[in-house]
Amino acid sequence: MPQIPYLPILLSMFTGACLAAPATPSVPRAFQGEWNMRAADCGTSLNDSVLRLRAHHVNYFESAGPVRAAVARGRELALIAELSGEGETRLHVAQFRLSRDGRTLTDVGSTPPLLRYRCPARRR
């Protein structure tokens, strides 16, 4: 298993049973896609709440970068990404909770928690 230097930080976000969860630099498929606070803004840059999660990459409104570590436990996901934007590169730690039906994603690390809706998949 590859060495993941950020693993202790990531695991400290969870308690107990999650310590046994494997950490990989990949976002599980259930969490992947475009998410937005307003479904009407999906596929646009009209809302700064846009979040795009891919297997190995995350995009926020004005920053993006590779996923360095991810830990999933059921409907919870914690990740560390190396984001670049506005002339800076930084480590970003995030924790998300997926709804039972998979239609909403709550950023539980935000204050207050930020609820986003799953955007329809883009047609190519």
Instruction: Classify residue 78: in a domain, yes or no.
Output: yes
Question: Which domain covers residue 96, as residue numbers?
Answer: 7-118
pLDDT, tens digit (0-9, with 9 covering 90-100), for 53-87: 999 999 998 999 999 999 999 999 999 999 999 89
Residue 82 counted as domain residue: yes
Q: Is residue 72 part of a domain?
A: yes
pLDDT tens, position by position, 6-59 = 445 444 544 444 444 555 679 999 999 999 999 999 988 888 999 999 999 999
The verdict on residue 1 lying in a domain is no
123 within some domain: no
Using alpha carbons only, give the angle 7, 106, 70 rounded to the nearest 5 degrees: 20
Q: How many domains does the chain have?
A: 1
CB 73 within 8 A of CB 21: yes
